[in-house]
Amino acid sequence: AGGGAAMAEGEGLVSVDYEVSGKVQGVFFRKYTQGEAKRLGLVGWVQNTSHGTVRGQIQGPTARVRELQEWLRKIGSPQSRISRAEFSNEKKITALEHKDFQILK
């Protein structure tokens, strides 16, 4: 068992991909997403796509992941306008596959 097991408090870890549509580029959406993910203790990544959306992956304890999903769906960065947040490829994982939460170019 790794040292991170205690942190999850018997709660399973999940990985989920996301894509957020709306006015989400040029409004510091990635920076705010990274900040929120770190506050929740989640790992993964976020990046702008060529078609004007923001996408990425979140991994961590289920309840925390749910919190970030809700944040991505409803809140986002102060100047963003979220029209849709889609989540896919959700799966249980036994260990985190990322060291931290990164903004990818």
Q: Which positions are catalytic?
A: 30, 48
**Among candidate residues 88, 74, 19, 17, the one with its CA nearest the CA of residue 48:** 19
Secondary structure class of 69 (helix, strand, coil): helix
Strands 13-23 and 54-61 come out as: antiparallel
